[in-house]
Every structure is written in C-alpha cells, then in structure tokens.
C-alpha cells in the first residue's frame, strides 16, 4: 500500500457546518482488485444538501450506495444518525429505515399499482394500518403532482412520472436523509424538470440530501456544498459559487469545462 | 355503450382468386400444393372413416366404467359420484369467490366491471367439454348423464357464494377447502392417518378465512397458531367420532387415479421446488450444495428409474412398519422428480429479475424474506408460468408410466379391456385413440388456462 497523501487543502470543507448527520471516515471500497473508493472522508449535516459530481466510474454512486449498505465498505467507518454500519443486520435495517434512496432506473415494483408501491414499505416495515398507509400515499402523490395515477401500474407511466412515484415511495418511510443516484439520467430531456422541481421543493422543505447528478443547474440552485470525485477519490469540496467561479484543481477545471 | 366500427370491411376474394393467391402463388408453392393436397385429403378420409364408420367403438362404450374408474369396487361407485358432486360444488364456490373478489378489487380501484359472457366460458373449457360430451355419447346407462347434470347443478349452487357480503368473502375459501377435504374423504375414508392431510388443509383454509389483520404482530401470530391447532384438533375429533371406512389408494384406477395422482404430484412438487430453488441460491454453502446436488442427481435419472426405485428401494429407507402403498410411493417419486425441474424453472425466473428490484426493496428497509415474498417471487413466478405449466402437463402425461409398475391408470386400463374375450386381439387402435383424446383434452385445457393466467397477470408488462 502506498502512503496516503497528506490531508488535502479542502479538508475543512469536508466537515459539515453544524452537527454531522452522516459521517464517512477513511472509507475504502474494492470490487475485486479494483479500488472504487479511496480514503473517502465527508460529513453531511442536518438539512444539508450535498451534490456529488464527477466523471463516470469515479465512485459517486458507490459512495452513496455504501451509505445505506447496498454496497459494503471494506475499511473505515460510516455513521448515520449515530448508528455505525457494521455487519449487524439490525444496524443496517435501522439505517435503511432512516435513509430513502432514488435510483437512476426508478426500480418501481412493476407488479404493484402506484399506490401499493408507495404504501408497501410503511405497511410491511412500520406496520402502519392499510387505510392510513394509503391515505399517506395519496398525500405524497399529491405532493409530487400525480394523484390521478394512483391506480395505474408503473409501466403505464412516463419516465418522469415514474421517478416522481419513486421519490414518493421513499418519502413514505419518512426518511431523515434522501440519497439520489443520478435521478434524471435515464429521463428524456423534457421530463427532467418535473423531477428536479420535486427535488428542489424537498430541499427547500429542509430534507437532508445527497444527490449524485450531472444537473449543474440543480447544484447551483440548491446545493450547500458540491463534492467533485474522480478515480474513487474526493478531489475537491466547496460551495457552488466556489466551484463555478474559482475551481482549484486541474481535474475539476477539466471536468467542468467538459460538461458546462 | 357500443363502439363505433371504423375498420374497413375486408373484401372477400372470390374462390378462384383465393386459390390462386394462397395455393399457387409461385411454382414451388404450386408443386407443394399438388403433392400435399391428395395426401391430406386421403389422410382426412381415412380418419373420418375410422372414427365414423370402421371404428369398433363398442370397445369403449362397453368398458366406459372401466376407463373411468378401473377396478374401483363397483358397489362403492357412489363414493366417486359424491366426490365429483362435492368437487364441482367446491369449484363453483372457489370460482365465484375469486370472481367476486376480483369485482370488489376492480370497484375499489374504480375500474369498469365486465361480465364474462357464457360463450367465453365455453371457449375456455371446450377441450374438457368435448371430452365429457364424448363420454356421454358412449354412455350406455343413465348414470353418466345424471353425474354430469348433478355436477353442473352443484357448480351452479356453489356459484351462489358470490352473494356473500364482501366482509365475509374469505369464508368462501374456507368453504371450498372443506368441500375438497370432504370430497377426498368420501372415497378415502376417515380412518387411519388420513386426518393428518385434512387437518393441514383445513388449518390453511381457516387461516385464509380469518387473516386477523387488526391484531398486533405478536398477538396475531399467537392467535393464528391457536386457530390452526384448534382447526386441526376439530378435524381429528370429527374423524375419530365418525370412522368411515374408505377405499384405499391401492384400489383406485382408471382416469380417476390418473387425475388424482397428477394433481397431487403437481400440488406437492410446487412448494418443494420453490424451496429447492431458494436453497440453491442460499448464501449458506451446506444448504446450497445439498440443493444443487439433489437437483442435479434427480435431473440425471429418468423418471421411470425413479419410479422403480420408489417401488423397490424406498421401502428399505423407511422405518419398518410403515407400509406405503405402491401408489403413494409412485406419487412420491413423481413429486421428487418434478420438484427438481420446478426448482430450475423458478431459479431461471429469479435470475431474470433486474437486481434493482431487490436493491429498491432493501433500500426501503424490507427484510430479505419480505423482499423475496412480496417483490421478487411474485415477479419471478409470473415470468415462468409457461415453463412451469409445461412441466405440469409433462408430469400429467408421464403418470401413464405407472402402467409399467402394474398400476392400472388411464392407459393401463387398456390391458384389462383387451384381456376380455370379446376384445382380445381387436380394437387396440380404438382404445388408444380414446385414451390419447382424454390426455389431450386435459393437457390442452391446462395449456389454455396457463395462457389465460399469463394474460391476466400481464407477464408481458
């Protein structure tokens, strides 16, 4: 193992301003011989919105998938709301109850109606009565703007509608933090806005969010901090203004010049 | 409301045009037409002559009872008749309960309710309907007519279950279970260990009828366990109080036996195959290796070998004193055989699902078992309905191998027929065609039902 580089200049920026809600410390992750995450340190505070950007294969998705343990990290520690992720299945379940996740491919359950997609987890995991869970689900559907689709199946909806249902499904578990894994990357351009609008509203409502995205407009508008990753490392962390006006690292400049 | 027909009415071509376009579009097709037409006409002529003129069908009409129930004691025939009536009643209750539940769901979802016309029902079951008509044609006594009429009446009576209020809908399922159990017991009796199977079935029926959704999880579990035990105890009590001597497996034969053996092998192999599929994907190496070994071992051995092993080897592996009838051993062999194939079919379905489904379920906090039960399995099983039903049709037809074990199932009954002086060396073709027609009617109905189920569950979604 080569010696690690000394603490980078942005070390202070990896700390959350207030109380840390998610603490990722010295995390490494391997897929076989390939190291997907290298010495990741990042804290996320309550009600903070962190946007993670970077080229594909840079480890952005792997990072947020480690936070709700869809991937197991190999070294370091991840603590969510005071619960450390370990092999203990109870800890994992506790963390998953507190974190919602929205996927690039929506991953709605095609054999269930929209309403059942949303009401399933509250009924099964939180043991909410059916009627109550369905009432809550309807409220969430109104919040994401598609209550009239409640009885349809996901296959009958457009991509943008499906992703809004997926967001409602995550919110139904009343999570304390929402993880977004490229939520608009699989959408047709005209549908991106309807999903981003829901996410902006969520951020303005005070939800703690980690968002992996290429939507720079979203980052500029709602992010408290932006994290730039490349080759499994955090290259640079800072406010959106810092990123879009005064990026420090060459890799960051190169990446931004390619996508902006 | 009537839909406005806007499709253009196709212009029917004249006969000559049709012949030219369809039969002689080019030289090659013309040659094929010229060669094939006389062959097909000749074969059709021979088939019609055989069925309508030359066939000595009295071999079937005089032995109809033998084909249906084989060597089952004639004095005890009333048991089979009562069973048919009870099962028809159960079918009516089940069908109407399922239908009414579907209507309830559609109403709740605000969808229009379409009434199924009778013509659709006929089209759905026409192969079995045709088989029954052929049986009635061959009937020389009034009994078959009375049984068919009685069964239809019982089915109609069972259909009144749809008038149960929605709140009591689940009672329909319990009633159906009780009728099936009663139908089985009328023949097999209530003595010996027959209460075990019945108790299990009735317990399941009770649990379905009273889901106890309102209770807290732990209380619910306790209440359900208590209810199941109580149901089992009641069954045991009734069976002990009313000891009805039954007609054992070893006296069953004919189509009656074929249907029961196949139904039991199918019903038992499904859960076993499901467990094997899950075990083969287990993260525990011991379980995985055992399941894989079992599946590969069974799939490497012909069914007929397994059937023989069931007859000659299974008795040595069982504790002394447990004398299973040769039919139970055959059912065991068929079940173990089919389960291995069902396991591989289910595994294929599990592998066809995108990993995102499981990830989404996990991310929502569903436990692994709930994710499997509510998300993964429903989709995986839907995807493999065609393959699964194909396997079930296969084991239904393979039940004819029991003939080689000297069990007189539907095909084996032929040997009894041709042992009779009148038919010693004649009319083999007639009996074969009749038996083949019977197998076809049931197999094709199963296939049609599977296609219908596929459409209903929208596999293609």
Place B15 in a pLDDT band, splitting at 50, 70 and 90.
confident
B436 contact partners, CB below 8 Å, separation of at least 6: none
CB contact under 8 A, B379 and A101: no
CA distance A31 to B315: 52
Name the residue of chain A whose CA is nearest to B378's CA.
A111
pLDDT above 90 (res A203): yes
Predicted pLDDT of residue B453: 86
Domain boundary among B32, B54, B76: B54
Element containing residue A76 per DSSP (H, E): strand A75-80
For B217, nearest residue in chain A (alpha carbons): A127
Strand-strand pairing, A225-230 and A233-238: antiparallel
Residues B177 and B42 placed together within one structural domain of the fold: no
Size of interface A-B (CB pairs under 8 A): 66
Query: Is the predicted pLDDT of residue B109 greater than 80, yes or no?
Result: no
* Parallel/antiparallel/unpaired status of strands A49-53 and A225-230: parallel
The tokens 């810092």 sit on which residue? Answer: A242
Which of A36, A40, A42 has its CA nearest to residue A20? A42
Number of domains in chain B: 2
Q: Is the pLDDT assigned to residue B3 strictly greater than 60?
A: no
* Residue B89 forms part of a structural domain: yes
CA distance B355 to chain A (A): 9
Q: What is the Cα gyration radius of chain A? A: 18
Residues B28, B167, single domain; the answer is: no
Q: Which helix (H) or strand (E) holds A200?
A: helix A189-204
Please say if the pLDDT value at position A222 is more than 50: yes
Is the Cβ–Cβ distance between A168 and A144 less than 8 Å? yes
Same domain, B29 and B110: no
Domain annotation covers residue B400: yes
pLDDT at A164: 95
Residue A181 φ/ψ, nearest 5 degrees? -105, 90
Residue in A with minimal Cα distance to B109: A151
pLDDT at B272 over 80: yes
Question: By CA distance, what is B357's nearest residue in A?
Answer: A107
For the residues B443-455, what does the mean pLDDT come to? Answer: 90
Are residues B272 and B298 part of one domain? yes
- Long-range pairs for A121-125: beta carbons < 8 A, 24 or more residues apart: A121/A169, A121/A172, A121/A173, A121/B364, A121/B365, A121/B366, A122/A172, A122/A173, A124/B366, A124/B370, A124/B374, A125/A97, A125/A173, A125/B364, A125/B365, A125/B366, A125/B370
Share of chain B above pLDDT 70, in %: 96
Non-local (6+) Cβ contacts of A14 within 8 A are A41, A42, A43, A234, A237
Q: Which residue of B lies nearest to A105 if distances are taken between CA atoms? A: B356
Tell me the residue range of the domain where B372 lies.
58-456
Establish if B351 belongs to a structural domain.
Answer: yes
> Cβ of B219 under 8 Å from any chain A Cβ?
no
Q: How far is B361 from chain A (nearest CA, A)?
A: 8
Last residue of a domain, one of B54, B74, B103: B54
Q: Do B85 and B24 reside in the same domain of the chain?
A: no
Q: Indicate the range of A23-37, A161-175, B16-30, B112-126 predicted with least confidence.
A: B112-126
For residues B434 and B344, state if they share a domain.
yes
Contact A6/A201 with Cβ under 8 angstroms?
no
Residues 6+ apart with CB under 8 A from B377: B274, B350
Residue B86 belongs to some domain of the structure: yes
- Give the three-class secondary structure for A136: helix
Weakest mean pLDDT among A68-72, B206-210, B217-221 = B217-221
The verdict on residue B136 lying in a domain is yes
Backbone angles phi, psi at B306, to 5 degrees: -60, -40
Same domain, B65 and B109: yes
CA–CA gap between residue A236 and residue B33 (Å, rounded): 77
| One domain for residues B66 and B156 | yes
CA distance A167 to chain B (A): 11
Query: For residues A184 and B141, what is the distance between their CA atoms, to the nearest angstrom?
Result: 73
Both structure tokens of A151: 């009885």
Cα–Cα distance measured from residue B119 to residue A101, given in angstroms and rounded to the nearest whole number = 50
**Chain A partners of B356 at a C-beta cutoff of 8 Å?**
103, 105, 107
A234 pLDDT above the threshold of 50: yes
For the stretch B280-338, pLDDT in tens is 998 899 999 999 999 999 999 999 999 999 888 887 877 776 677 889 899 999 999 99
Considering only CB atoms, B374 lies closest to which of A103, A124, A170, namely A124
- DSSP, collapsed to helix, strand or coil, labels residue A119 as helix
Residues B170 and B302 in one domain: yes
pLDDT at A209 over 50: yes
CATH number for the domain that contains residue B364: 1.10.3720.10
B360–A107 CB contact, under 8 Å: yes
- The confidence band for A42, taking pLDDT boundaries of 50, 70 and 90, is very high
B109 with B29, same domain?
no
Contacts of B375 in chain A (CB under 8 A): 109
CA B135 to the chain's CA centroid: 20
Query: Which range among A83-87, A159-163, B162-166 shows the weakest confidence by mean pLDDT?
Result: B162-166
Residues of chain B with C-beta less than 8 angstroms from the C-beta of A152: none
Nearest CA-CA distance, residue A107 and chain B, Å: 6
- The interface residues of chain B toward chain A in range 338-377, judged by CB-CB distance below 8 A, are 354, 356-357, 359-367, 370, 374-375
Give the pLDDT band of residue A193 (cuts 50, 70, 90). very high
Residues B44, B68, single domain; the answer is no
Would you say residue B2 lies in a domain?
A: no
Residues B234, B188 share a domain: yes
Long-range contacts of B372-377 (CB under 8 A, 24+ apart): B372/B278, B374/A120, B374/A124, B375/A109, B376/B350, B377/B274, B377/B350
A5 pLDDT more than 60? no
């Amino acid at each position: 193992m080569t010696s690690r580089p000394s603490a980078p200049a942005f070390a202070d920026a990896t700390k959350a301003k207030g109380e840390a809600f998610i603490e990722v410390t010295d995390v490494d992750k391997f897929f076989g011989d390939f190291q997907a995450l290298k010495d990741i340190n990042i804290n996320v505070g309550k009600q903070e919105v962190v946007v993670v950007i970077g080229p594909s294969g840079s480890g952005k998705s792997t990072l947020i998938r480690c936070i709700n343990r869809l991937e197991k990290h190999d070294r370091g520690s991840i603590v969510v709301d005071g619960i450390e992720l370990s092999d203990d299945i109870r800890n994992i379940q506790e963390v998953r109850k507190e974190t919602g996740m929205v996927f690039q491919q929506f991953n709605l359950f095609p054999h269930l109606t929209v309403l059942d997609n949303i009401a399933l987890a509250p009924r099964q995991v939180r043991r909410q009565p059916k009627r109550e869970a369905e009432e809550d689900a309807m409220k969430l559907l109104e919040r994401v703007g598609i209550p009239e689709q409640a009885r349809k199946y996901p296959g009958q909806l457009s991509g943008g509608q499906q992703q809004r249902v997926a967001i409602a499904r995550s919110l139904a578990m009343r999570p304390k933090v929402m993880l977004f894994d490229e939520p608009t990357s699989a959408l047709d351009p005209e549908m991106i806005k309807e999903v981003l609008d829901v996410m902006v509203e969520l951020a303005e409502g005070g939800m703690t969010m980690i968002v992996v995205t290429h939507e720079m407009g979203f980052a500029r508008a709602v992010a408290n901090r932006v994290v730039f990753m490349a080759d499994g490392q955090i290259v640079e962390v800072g406010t959106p203004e810092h990123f879009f006006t005064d990026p420090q690292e060459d890799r960051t400049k190169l990446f931004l010049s390619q996508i902006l | 409301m009537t839909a406005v027909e806007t499709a253009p009415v196709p212009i029917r071509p004249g006969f000559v045009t049709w012949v030219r376009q369809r039969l002689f579009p080019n030289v090659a097709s013309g040659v094929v037409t010229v060669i094939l037409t006389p062959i097909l006409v000749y074969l059709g002529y021979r088939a019609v002559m055989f069925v309508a003129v030359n066939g000595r069908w009295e071999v079937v009409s005089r032995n109809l009872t033998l084909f249906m129930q084989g060597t089952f004691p004639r004095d005890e025939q009333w048991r089979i008749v009562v069973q048919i009536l009870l099962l028809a009643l159960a079918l009516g209750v089940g069908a109407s309960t399922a239908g009414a539940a579907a209507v309830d769901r559609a109403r709740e979802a605000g969808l229009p309710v379409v009434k199924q016309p009778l013509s659709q029902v006929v089209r759905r079951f026409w192969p079995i309907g045709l088989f029954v008509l052929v049986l009635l044609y061959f009937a020389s006594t009034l009994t078959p007519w009375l049984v068919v009429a009685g069964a239809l009446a019982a089915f109609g009576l069972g259909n009144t279950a749809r008038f149960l209020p929605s709140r009591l809908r689940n009672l329909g399922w319990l009633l159906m279970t009780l009728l099936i159990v009663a139908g089985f017991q009328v023949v097999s009796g209530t003595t010996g260990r027959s209460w075990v199977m019945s108790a299990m079935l009735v317990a399941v029926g009770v649990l379905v009828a009273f889901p106890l959704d309102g209770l807290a999880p732990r209380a619910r579990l306790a209440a359900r366990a208590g209810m199941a035990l109580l149901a089992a105890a009641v069954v045991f009590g009734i069976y002990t109080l009313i000891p009805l001597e039954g007609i054992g497996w070893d006296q069953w034969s004919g189509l009656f036996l074929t249907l029961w053996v196949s139904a039991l092998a199918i019903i038992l192999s499904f859960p076993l195959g499901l467990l094997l599929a899950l075990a083969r994907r287990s993260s525990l190496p011991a379980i995985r290796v055992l399941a894989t070994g079992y599946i590969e071992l069974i799939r490497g051995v012909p069914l007929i070998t397994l059937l023989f092993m069931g007859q000659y080897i299974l008795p040595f592996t069982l504790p002394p004193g447990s004398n299973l009838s040769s039919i139970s051993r055959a059912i065991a062999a068929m079940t173990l055989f089919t389960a291995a194939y069902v396991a591989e079919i289910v595994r294929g379905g599990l592998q066809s699902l995108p990993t995102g489904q499981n990830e989404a379920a996990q991310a929502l906090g569903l436990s692994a078992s709930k994710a499997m039960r509510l998300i993964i399995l429903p989709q995986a099983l839907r995807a493999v309905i065609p393959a699964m039903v194909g396997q079930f049709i296969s084991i239904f037809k393979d039940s004819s191998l029991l003939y080689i074990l000297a069990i007189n199932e539907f095909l084996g009954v032929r040997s009894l027929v041709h042992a009779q002086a009148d038919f010693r060396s004649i009319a083999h073709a007639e009996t074969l065609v009749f038996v083949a027609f019977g197998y076809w009617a049931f197999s094709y109905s199963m296939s049609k039902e599977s296609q219908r189920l596929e459409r209903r569950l929208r596999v293609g979604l």
